[in-house]
C-alpha cells in the first residue's frame, strides 16, 4: 500500500500521531527519540501548530483499540474520519509507521530526513534524532510564532521565517516606517535548564546587531514548555565560552 503524507491535513497528521502513540505505546515513544509521553505530546503538538492536549486526546481515543495498559475513551465511539485513518493504519508495523510520521511532521521532510539518515551513518544518532531535531528546531520555532504577538517589545513587528537562508538567525522582524529590522534566534531545550550553543555565524551576527538581536529560548519540552528572551545576549547576563573542537574531516576522491 502506497501512502501519501502530502495529502494529509494538519488535523489528520495530529490524529495519526495519537494513533501511533496508542498503537505502539512506550516502544513507539522511544523509537521516535522521546523519553516520555508528555514530551512527545508537547513536541509533536507544537511542531504541528496543535495543542499538545489534542495529541493526548487522540491517543486516548485510540487506546481501547490496542493492547496497552490504558483504558482510554472506552465508552466513546470513534468519529468517522478518525475511523477511516484507523482502518488504513492499524496494521502498519512500527518502523514504516514511524517513517511515515516523520515525513508528515517535518516541515522540510526531504532535507531533515536526509540529515537524520546521514547522522545515523556517521554514528551521531542521539543528537540528530527526530525528537532532538524537532525540539531544537521546528517545535521551538512554532512556539515562538505563537508567542510572538504576546511579547510587548516584538508584537508590533511583522514576522518572517528566514531559517533556510543561513543568515545567522531564524526570524527577521520588521515594523512599518523603520528601516532597521530585528533578528530572533530560537533555541529549544528538553529541560528547564541546559546548554544553549550559538554557531560561529550566529555569535558574530549577534555581536554585529547588538540591541537588534534577540535570543529566544524555549525550555522544558519534557514537562511544560515556557520561554525566556534575551536582548543583545552577548552583552547581558549570559556568559558564553568558546568551545573549539578538532574534527576529522573525511573526503572521498576520484579522478575524472
In this prediction, residue 145 carries a pLDDT of: 95
What pTM was computed for the model? 0.83
pLDDT, tens digit (0-9, with 9 covering 90-100), for 18-47? 999 999 999 999 999 999 999 999 999 999
| Other beta carbons within 10 Å of 157 | 19
Question: What stretch of H or E contains 158?
Answer: strand 158-161
Q: Tens digit of pLDDT for each residue in 231-251? A: 999 998 889 988 887 767 677
- % the chain with pLDDT above 70: 89
Model pLDDT, residue 96: 92
Q: How many CA atoms lie within 13 A of 162 on its CB side?
A: 18
Q: Residue 15 — pLDDT band, cuts 50, 70, 90?
A: very high
* Res 143: pLDDT: 96
Give the residue carrying C-alpha cell 547576563: 237
- Quick one: angle between helices 37-47 and 52-62, nearest 10? 120
Structural domains of the chain in order of their starting residue, each with its CATH number: 5-105 (no CATH), 142-235 (3.40.1350)
Task: Give tens-digit pLDDT for 79-123.
Answer: 888 999 999 999 999 999 998 998 889 886 555 556 666 556 655
pLDDT of residue 139: 94
Distance CA 241, CA 237 (A): 13
Stretch among 86-90, 118-122, 135-139, 221-225 having the lowest mean pLDDT: 118-122
Long-range CB contacts (within 8 A, 24+) of 233-240? 233/206, 234/203, 234/206, 234/207, 234/210, 235/210, 240/198, 240/203
Residue 70 predicted with pLDDT over 90: no
The per-residue pLDDT for 135 is 86
User: Considering the chain, what is the average pLDDT of its residues?
Assistant: 87
In this prediction, residue 110 carries a pLDDT of: 58
* pLDDT at residue 3, rounded to an integer: 62
Percentage with pLDDT > 90 across the chain:
59
Amino acid at each position: 500500500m502506497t501512502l501519501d503524507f502530502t495529502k494529509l491535513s494538519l488535523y489528520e497528521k495530529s490524529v495519526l500521531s495519537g494513533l501511533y502513540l496508542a498503537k505502539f505505546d512506550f516502544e513507539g515513544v522511544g523509537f521516535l527519540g522521546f523519553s516520555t509521553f508528555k514530551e512527545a505530546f508537547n513536541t509533536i503538538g507544537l511542531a504541528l501548530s496543535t495543542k499538545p492536549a489534542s495529541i493526548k486526546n487522540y491517543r486516548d481515543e485510540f487506546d481501547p483499540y490496542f493492547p496497552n495498559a490504558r483504558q482510554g475513551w472506552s465508552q466513546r465511539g470513534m468519529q468517522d474520519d478518525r475511523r477511516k485513518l484507523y482502518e488504513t493504519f492499524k496494521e502498519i508495523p512500527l518502523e514504516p509507521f514511524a517513517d511515515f510520521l516523520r515525513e508528515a511532521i517535518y516541515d522540510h521532510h526531504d532535507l531533515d530526513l536526509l540529515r537524520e539518515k546521514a547522522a545515523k551513518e556517521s554514528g551521531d544518532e542521539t543528537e540528530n534524532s527526530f525528537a532532538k531535531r524537532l525540539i531544537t528546531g521546528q517545535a521551538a520555532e512554532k512556539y515562538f510564532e505563537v508567542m510572538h504577538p504576546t511579547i510587548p517589545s516584538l508584537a508590533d513587528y511583522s514576522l518572517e521565517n528566514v531559517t533556510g537562508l543561513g543568515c545567522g538567525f531564524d526570524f527577521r522582524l520588521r515594523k512599518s516606517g523603520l528601516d532597521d529590522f530585528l533578528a530572533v534566534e530560537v533555541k529549544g531545550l528538553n529541560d528547564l535548564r541546559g546548554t544553549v550553543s550559538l554557531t560561529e555565524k550566529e555569535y558574530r551576527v549577534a555581536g554585529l546587531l547588538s540591541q537588534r538581536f534577540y535570543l529566544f529560548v524555549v525550555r522544558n519540552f519534557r514537562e511544560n514548555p515556557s520561554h525566556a528572551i534575551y536582548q543583545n545576549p552577548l552583552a547581558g547576563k549570559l556568559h558564553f565560552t568558546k568551545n573549539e573542537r578538532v574534527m576529522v574531516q573525511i573526503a572521498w576522491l576520484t579522478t575524472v
